Amino acid sequence: MSTLQRDPREQVRVLDEDGRVVDGATVPDLDDDQMVEMYRNMKLARHFDQRAVSLQRQGRMGTYPPLSGQEGAQIGSAMALDEEDWMVPSYREHGAAYARGLKLHQTLRYWMGDERGNELRDLNIFPVAVPIATQVLHASGLAWGAKLKGDRKAFMCYFGDGATSEGDFHEGLNFAGVFDVPAVFFCNNNQWAISVPRERQTASETIAQKAVAYGFEGVQVDGMDPLAVYKVAREAVEKAKADDPEDLRPTLIEAVQYRFGAHTTADDPSVYRDDDEVERWKAKDPIPRLESYLYEQGVLDQERIDAVQQSVEEEVADAIETAESLERPEPAAIFEHVYEGMPKRLQQQRQYLEQLRERHGDEELLE
């Protein structure tokens, strides 16, 4: 087995807050088109997020978990995956899922209450996991199964800092370390698990160092630096698919970042954090950071920046129109996909709903 490499208490960075390469850092080997793709995906994720929050406020969509501030971590990590690799999300990875091929209107449909938005045929993306940390176990099992079958695939599992307080997190990482599964555990440490601050989650100096107890490498990265995230995620993916079985190892990545908005649209963050804290983190915004770097490198100019903005606005508008034009699911669909086979109590509840609909009609029930 390979020995631990980086000190999990030292944060990996490539770009500073002004978009300059930090001393001693190496820019990952991405060509200009890939850099622009990364930038556009981040811009699209931000605009999509703003429009999705607006849709919820207008009553056109249900509760929604915003991602603004986390675009660098999501896009940087998703782009580090190869086509055959798998993404195992929590419930906030809208940008990463888009980068992996999921259409925006599918994400909108899901949060509009249409389970068909969670159809993932021909995509190496596992279904959204709203329960905290359950997907960590799924990822470890999926990765172990792939290893047993001899498949050369990596499985990147996303979760928040709050998930590290769950038993599923520890069980999943312990299993991964024992069996050397090809998994990358990606912790979006956005400082708040709803209203609980990171310092209340663990007494560890970093979350990354928890990996040491499970026998594999933990890496802390500036989660608002997309190039640094891509760099460490790509290294972790390559380690998960190493040619020599002795070198194949899982990795825990702690991406230190911040969610600018609420935990979900049902949350009021002003109750538990102050505006000064938010503004300090907004100074680290991943989008202008990458934009400044690419501008100085001559990859972007104002004309291209404007073109990117226009294209993402049009794409998001088209996705909203598509999602809202699709036929709404039948109310009875809420009982489907809960269990592999529907138990008797759910059958009875569905039958009761149908009786109410026949008696009162859908409009009166909604009132």
Q: Which residues are catalytic?
A: 259, 263, 272
Report the sign of the C-alpha dihedral through residues 338, 340, 344, 347, in that order: positive
Which two tokens mark 334? Answer: 């809420």
Helix (H) or strand (E) holding 349: helix 344-360
Q: How far apart are the first and last CA of the chain?
A: 62
What crossing angle do the helices spanning 104-111 and 32-57 adopt, rounded to 10°? Answer: 30
Phi and psi at residue 87, to the nearest 5°: -110, 130
Q: How open is the CA angle 143-145-150, to the nearest 5 degrees?
A: 95
Q: Do 186 and 159 meet the contact criterion of CB atoms below 8 Å apart?
A: yes
Phi and psi at residue 356, to the nearest 5°: -65, -40
What crossing angle do the helices spanning 71-78 and 286-296 adopt, rounded to 10°? Answer: 60
Which two tokens mark 232? Answer: 């460490």
Name the residue among 305, 260, 264 with its Cα closest to residue 70.
Answer: 260
Q: Do 21 and 280 meet the contact criterion of CB atoms below 8 Å apart?
A: no
Angstrom distance (rounded) from CA 52 to CA 95:
12
